[in-house]
Amino acid sequence: MSAKPTLDALRLEIDAIDDKIHDLIMARTEVVKQVREAKRGEPVKIRPARECSILYRLMGRHKGPFPKRELARIWRELIVATLSFEGPFSIAVLMPDAAGPDEPRHDRRSGHWNMARDQYGSFTPMSGFSSARRLIDAVRTLKATVGVLSLPELGEHKPWWPHLASKRPDTPRVITRLPFIGSPEDRGPNVQALVICPVTPEPTGRDRTYLVVETTDQISLERLSSALKKAKMEPRFTAVWRDPDTPSRSLYLAEVDGFISDEDSKIIRLSENLEGVATSIMSIGSYGLPFTPEELETQ
C-alpha cells in the first residue's frame, strides 16, 4: 500500500497550485492590457453586462465544496482590480445623514456602504454624499465612476430616479442591483440598492429594465401596469412622481422583466396602449439579476 502523503508534501502541492494560480492572474492581466488599448478613448471602462456574464458562467460551471459566494467575491476583487488598472475607478454612496452636502463619510454602519465595498473591492476609493442630486452630478461628471443609491420606493417625496430621465449622453444609467452575490448576515436581509454609471446598457440574458414614462395627464399605476402587460412587459414595481414646479408633468417609473432598449418595439406598443397620454418613454437602465440563495448553494 502506498503511504499517505505527509503534511509537508501536501503543503508543497498547495504551494505549486498557488504558483499556477498566480501565473494565470499575471497572464490574465497581460490580456487586460490589450483590452485597455482597445478601450482607449472611452471615458468609462466598466462593462456591467460583461461582469455579470463572467460570474454567471463561472457559478454555472463550479463544482466541489468551495463556497460559491467566496468564489464570486474572489472574482469581484479580480475584476475591480483590473478596472482600476484600466483607469481611475471610484464609488459614490448616498448617505443622507452625512454632515455636509459633499463631505465624504466613511461609515461601516451603512448597509449601502458595505454592499458597495462587497461589490467593488476592498481598496476602491469611496465617498459618501448626503444629496442624491450631488451624487448623480458627481457620476455624470466622472468625479466618481459609479454611484450607489437606495432602491426606489412607493410614495417617496423626493425620489432620485427622475434625475435620470434625460437623453443626454452623459446621464447616468442603472447598471447593477445590490447585493449581487448575497450579503453576510450582519448586512441585514432587506438592504438593497441600485448602482448608476454613464454607460450604455447591454443585455446579460437575465435582466430587468427601468422605464420612465412622462405624461401631461395623470394616470393610475393600475392603468400603467395594465398597459405594460398588454405590451408584453411584466411590471415588478411602479411608482409616480409629480413635478411640483410643473404640476401638469408627471413621471412614472416601471421596473419590468427583460432587457428593453429605447428602440424596442415594446416601447411603441406601450405608447399605443396608453392612448396618447405619454409624451415620452425611455429606459433609464437595466441590471443583470443578482444570484438567488439557491444559485449560491454549494453542491
**91 DSSP β-pair partners:** 126, 146
Residue 137 resides in a domain: no
Per-residue model confidence as pLDDT tens digits over 128-142: 999 999 999 999 999
CA angle 137, 142, 145 (to 5 degrees): 105
Residue 277 resides in a domain: yes
The 3-state DSSP composition of the chain as helix, strand, coil percent (nearest 5) reads 35, 20, 45
Radius of gyration of the chain (CA): 22
pLDDT at 101: 46
Residue 46 resides in a domain: no
* Amino acid in position 79: I
Residue 276 resides in a domain: yes
b/e sequence 46-78, b meaning 16+ C-beta within 10 Å: bbbbebbbbbbeebeeeeeeeebbebbbeebeb
Of residues 75, 79, 110, 81, the one with CA closest to residue 96: 110
Domain count, the chain: 2
Range(s) of the domain holding residue 30: 8-38
Are 288 and 49 in contact by the 8 Å Cβ rule? The answer is yes
CATH label of the domain that carries residue 228 = 3.30.70.260
Half-sphere exposure of 279 (CA within 13 A, CB side): 10
The mean pLDDT of 210-230, rounded to a whole number, is 95
Per-residue model confidence as pLDDT tens digits over 84-127: 777 789 999 999 765 554 544 445 457 899 999 999 999 999 99
Residues 6+ apart with CB under 8 A from 274: 213, 215, 219, 223, 224, 227
Q: Taking all residues of the chain, what is their mean pLDDT, rounded to a whole number?
A: 91
Residue 14 resides in a domain: yes
Q: Which residue has the higher pLDDT, 159 or 248?
A: 159
Per-residue model confidence as pLDDT tens digits over 163-187: 999 999 999 999 999 999 987 765 5
Residue 230 resides in a domain: yes
Half-sphere exposure of 70 (CA within 13 A, CB side): 5
**283 DSSP β-pair partners:** 211
Phi, psi of 197, rounded to the nearest 5 degrees = -165, 145
Residue 275 resides in a domain: yes
Q: What percent of the chain has pLDDT over 90?
A: 77
Residue 242 resides in a domain: yes
Question: Rounded CA gap, 193 and 231, in Å?
Answer: 27
pTM exceeding the 0.85 threshold for the entire prediction: yes
